[in-house]
Amino acid sequence: MTTYLCAIGTATPPHLIPQPQIADFMASALQLDAPDTRKLQALYRVSGIGQRYSVLPDYGRVNGEFTFFPNSPDLEPFPTVGQRMGVYREHALPLSVAAVHDCLRQVPDVAPSAITHLITVSCTGMYAPGLDIELVANLGLSTAVRRTCVNFMGCYAAFNALKLAEAFCQADADACVLVVCTELCTIHFQKNHEEDHLVSNALFGDGSAAALVRSRPAKHGPSLALTAFHCEIEPDGHADMAWHINDFGFEMTLSSYVPRMIQRGIRQLTDGLLRNLPVELADIQAFAIHPGGRKILETIEKELGLTTNDNRFAYSVLRDYGNMSSATVLFVLRELLQSLTPANNQEPVLSFAFGPGLTLEAMLLTVAYCECAAL
């Protein structure tokens, strides 16, 4: 039985901040001298990011106008984990609700009460009773809805959520699964001059994406059949992409070696996905790749013989939103969905995402239109 990704909704917080303005904030917060400020600004210019969204207005303000970070030259006392989790609890729910409403608007035949399973995904905040229970109450879901939380898996976590959704639909043809990925990455800014932290500070933004998964395609518009999944782990990258809870927030390690690790493993990952399928890489014209960074996208293009145009949806999301961890690949898939027409029916779509481990995830989807749409 085939499982379908029927609709994707997205939402971002209200504070849209241009990338150069964030660079100015970082240079001031890190108290960089003029030469290091110029180097930081250059890093931000070549990131491929034009703007990012944040639940915090501070990244677009100057010291003295901050509402979250202290208005002191060194931002001390630096916000604690507890303070950051307070911001997460305040903003995660309304952002998630907005993404779900955007999703369900696309499938008017699905009422919130019809949702049988709820999967929440996040690596940037945790509390209990958590976001899942708050969504049940706020959206009017059944109190008997089956809830699953995917926590702290990083940028590839949406793939695990979709695997779970597929399993639920395979077990119950009437399952109606709602996946909600909500990440508030910017609440975890760290004052660290190491290159890994400078790079991660230049990439991450906030956003939420919601997806509806069922055992039949949407009645109107395109769906994406979940055709196959494959995962590989590069143990040598264990320390190159990591996510740890420390006293002053969650600390991201994102080494400059990550693109090299992906370069080494992406062909094996692709071959493993397609090995037992009647699809070859040359047959695939549509791609939805998690834009972990510009260099990652360029590395994949080089290794798999793709063009920048093949990766256009990933570059568009990177430019307009930055890296929003688990939500990002759903933003990319949404842009791809919006570009489809019935002429694309049955075309394969290749998707990748990467995260701590170093984990490499691959997914093959197939464009599907409901037969009833042609009636």
**Which residues carry out catalysis?**
155
- All residues at 6 or more sequence positions from 215 whose CB lies less than 8 Å from its CB, including other chains: 1, 2, 3, 4, 169, 170, 173, 174, 175
Residue 204 sits at φ, ψ, to 5 deg, of -90, 140
Tokens 């931002």 appear where? 75
Tokens 């677009």 appear where? 60
Structural contact between residues 152 and 123, judged by C-beta atoms closer than 8 angstroms = yes
- All residues at 6 or more sequence positions from 121 whose CB lies less than 8 Å from its CB, including other chains: 149, 150, 151, 153, 157, 158, 160, 161, 179, 180, 181, 182, 326, 327
Residue 162 sits at φ, ψ, to 5 deg, of -70, -35
Rounded distance between C-alpha atoms, residue 255 and residue 198, angstroms: 10
Q: Specify which residues 121 forms β-bridges with.
A: 150, 181
Q: At what angle do helices 312-321 and 294-304 cross, to 10 degrees?
A: 170
Tokens of 342: 């019935």
